[in-house]
Structure 1
Amino acid sequence: MNSALLTPLFLAGLCMASAPATSPDTSNDGKQHTPPSRQDISAYLGYESAVILKNNSLRKKDIDLPAFRKAFAATMKKKPNLEQFNAYVDSIQPTIDAATHQLEQRNLKLATDTLQISRNFLEENGKKPGIVKTSSGLQYRIDQQGAGSAYDEEQHGENPLYSVRFKLLLMDGTLLIDKTEKAIETSDSIGLEGFDEALTLMPVGSKWTLYLPPHLAFGDATIYQDGICIPGNSVIIIEAELQSIKKDTRVIHPDGTVTDRPTQ
């Protein structure tokens, strides 16, 4: 509910409104490219606007669409007066603060409700045949046990590189990340403690299904990303296939470039 949210939308609309008419583009590959239709661009901007709003925990019922359309039309009709807009924001700041508090309370309740759902899920899941539980609370099922070796600190070093394919899902099956088409190399498993632990246990060639309790996943904070809500205290399910483990010989320089470590 921050006024800064309007900036990307305003800029996108301003650029589209002020862009000169285009002719077919043949500059790059010799092929004639048809200019995008007004309908396509409008649909694109509508999608981007909705994702931005959803990423800030807003729902459709939070938006007064007639007021939204009126403000949008008025802004597109004439040159925006940012000074006037900022004055308007200042005048309704108490309303913005109240709405922000309401959203925070909604997210807090969502996380509280999800905590009990996660506890019930893990309790029932832990009783299923084939489920292994570790002392940290991680649960996993071995779908295919690999014939390769597992992580060894002496052989692979303290921060090995894992080549892994995986999917991240919520308890209801909502797909968060899909990295199954091509394996990725990672030394931090996208920052999930439970994933880190599992990778140190999996033999190469294994396919495991992991069940990360909240404290080994994203914790108690509700996260909105790409228009998807990850409720606080969620169990994260990971379908992982470990393809290789090797010692990390990279050197990451201060400017961000990466090179191989010189051989001794």
Structure 2
Amino acid sequence: MRNLVWGFLCFVLFYSCKKDSGCGYNEQNIVAPASEQQAVQSYLTTNNITSASKDSSGLYYEIVNAGEGDGSPNLCSQVSLTYTGKLISGTVFEQKSTAFTLGSSIEGLRKGLLLIRKGGYMRLYIPPTLAYGSKEIKDESGKVIIPANSILVFDVALTSFY
């Protein structure tokens, strides 16, 4: 009887920890602290950006074009996009077209891209906790391109997903 109960508990534990997405990625439910949310709001106010909406996580976004078709990507989707990433100083740290599994990206992109469809275009204002947090990001030569605790701004066009 003891082995039966133990086996049942292991079964329940295994399936309760199983990833719901089926691809190894699941919703993180990370929320930026109030101080970071206020810093993003201050940036938006200072720059007269009044059309940005706020997600419950503290991500701010502007949907310029929602895109076409049915459905949006999910965390398991292979997304193709073109983007420009910059610091709030305006310094561009990356600009490219790329493809990757959405669940493998930073939390701000994971949350933002769920809001548009194929052909959609948006701007994301990502607090540090939803980006790289206290980790600084360096280029191949070792130069810091994203300082620790940076607010990031992404202009993103979702080319396709599957």
Match of 1:187 among 67, 78, 101: 101
Change beyond 3 A, Cα 1:190–1:228: farther
CA offset at residue 119 of structure 1? 4.2
Structure 2 letter corresponding to 1:232: A
Higher Rg of the two aligned structures: 1
In the other structure, the counterpart of 2:125 is 211
In the other structure, the counterpart of 2:60 is 139
1:128 aligns with 2:45: no
The separation in 1 between residues aligned to 2:64 and 2:115, in whole angstroms, is 14
- Identical positions, percent: 27
The separation in 1 between residues aligned to 2:117 and 2:152, in whole angstroms, is 22
In the other structure, the counterpart of 1:172 is 89
CA offset at residue 118 of structure 1? 7.9
Change beyond 3 A, Cα 1:118–1:200: closer
Structure 2 letter corresponding to 1:236: L
Change beyond 3 A, Cα 1:150–1:211: farther
CA displacement 1:233-255 (0-9 Å, x = unmatched): 10011110001121xxxxxxxxx
Secondary structure of the 1:136 match is coil
Structure 1 spans left out of the alignment, 5+ residues: 1-115, 247-264
CA contact (8 A) 1:122 1:213 kept: no
Structure 2 spans left out of the alignment, 5+ residues: 1-34
CA contact (8 A) 2:36 2:128 kept: no
Structure with more relative contact order (C-alpha pairs < 8 Å, separation 6 or more)? 2
In the other structure, the counterpart of 1:236 is 152
1:199 aligns with 2:118: no
Q: TM-score, normalised by structure 1?
A: 0.42
- The structure with the largest helix share of the pair is 1
CA offset at residue 224 of structure 1? 3.1
CA contact (8 A) 1:150 1:201 kept: no
Once the two structures are superposed, the pairs formed by residues 71-86 of structure 1 within 5 Å of their partners are none
The separation in 2 between residues aligned to 1:152 and 1:143, in whole angstroms, is 17
CA contact (8 A) 1:118 1:234 kept: no
1:223 aligns with 2:142: no
Secondary structure of the 2:129 match is helix
CA offset at residue 205 of structure 1? 1.1
Structure 2 letter corresponding to 1:143: V
The separation in 2 between residues aligned to 1:145 and 1:188, in whole angstroms, is 18
- The structure with the largest strand share of the pair is 2
CA contact (8 A) 1:146 1:204 kept: yes
The separation in 2 between residues aligned to 1:152 and 1:207, in whole angstroms, is 14
Once the two structures are superposed, the pairs formed by residues 1-264 of structure 1 within 5 Å of their partners are 119-125=38-44, 128-151=49-72, 159-179=76-96, 183-188=97-102, 191-225=105-139, 226=141, 227-246=143-162
CA contact (8 A) 2:79 2:100 kept: yes
CA offset at residue 150 of structure 1? 3.2
CA RMSD of aligned residues (A): 2.5
Secondary structure of the 2:124 match is strand
